[in-house]
Amino acid sequence: MWTYIARRLLMLIPVLFGMSLIVFSIIRAIPGDPARAILGEKASDEALAQLREELGLNEPWYIQYFHFLGDLMRGDLGVSIRTGAEIAEEIGPFLAATLELTFVAMLIAIFVGVNAGIIAAWKQATWFDYISMLIALIGVSMPVFWLGLMEQWVFAKELQLLPSTGRYNVREPIEVVTHFYVLDTIITGNWSGLWDVVKHLILPGIALGTIPMAIIARMTRSSMLEVMKQDYIRTARAKGLNEFWVNYKHALKNAFIPVLTVVGLQTGLLLGGAVLTETIFGWPGIGRYIYDAITYRDYPVIQSGILVVATIFVLINLIVDLLYAAVDPRINYK
């Protein structure tokens, strides 16, 4: 297995190299001038020329790319054009916020989606099956921004049960240790802060997890229906095993590999596709960070942010591949 992991990690190098070249080329094709975005429309030509010279924007694009690639190989993500801060330090809190939100969203999606899919397959052609799959269809089709706004209106404005924006109550500061606020409040023993952070996670977590929840439910149902036709399931029932254990212990384990694939893909997609959710709920995540960088033509931030997300996406796929062997002992990586 270690040989397989090493081989996959080595394959990450050409993938990231190709990704960096594509991202670098596409970004340079975006209309607009970073110098003018920084200095404003009324800036003089002399000031614009001086800033372009300082930022290295006057050099040919391939020279700029080799400078970027050289810095990247040294672990230097560069400096933000807009803020002047080191990107490697600046991106950490934004990435932690998105990872925390993605984890909560996928936790909700997996728990609800897998159980709904199992019960729908177990109770095939019953009212629960029809209603759960209808809800799953609506969940896939529902725009995230609309769901987020409805959640804010119902639970924040009308019922006043949950906060509508932010990661925590700014009037009750949190001692930051890792930038994962749930973990930080546990480490520091701030239990009231933990409850506050959890409340801020609920609405955006549900909004972000709705689509993967629906996809996981439909995939689980389809995979379970296929497995439940197998002889060993009929044998387990003939032995008098409880139907709950037949479905959750025997059938689910063999039906889970396709579901695991969907979970991995959806987790990676949520990392880069949470811009709408983060914008609606005022969540300071990596999606909004990159979006703001695009607005200001902050090339280093855009390039580094996309590469960081791409790296995490590839690592998630590697973890999913390794989990296949844990779920199915017949799979052996050499």
H helices of the chain, in order, are 2-28, 34-39, 45-55, 61-73, 87-122, 127-141, 144-151, 181-188, 191-227, 231-238, 243-245, 252-272, 275-280, 286-295, 299-327
pLDDT for the residue numbered 333: 62
pLDDT for the residue numbered 331: 67
DSSP secondary structure letters along 57-90:
TTS-HHHHHHHHHHHHHTT---B-TTT--BHHHH
Q: Is 134 left (phi over 0), alpha (psi -120 to 50) or beta?
A: alpha
What's the whole-model pTM score?
0.86
Low-confidence residues of the chain: pLDDT under 70: 1, 30-33, 37-38, 40, 273, 328-334
pLDDT for the residue numbered 196: 93
Q: Which residues contact 214 (CB under 8 A, 6 or more apart)?
A: 113, 135, 136, 137, 138, 139, 140
pLDDT for the residue numbered 301: 87
List phi, psi (to 5°) of 86. -65, 125
Domains and CATH numbers, the chain: 2-73 (no CATH), 90-327 (1.10.3720.10)
Q: Which long-range contacts (C-beta less than 8 Å, at least 24 apart) are formed by 229-238?
A: 230/254
pLDDT for the residue numbered 112: 93
Q: What CA–CA distances, in Å, run from 126 to 130, 222, 242?
A: 6, 15, 20
pLDDT for the residue numbered 18: 83
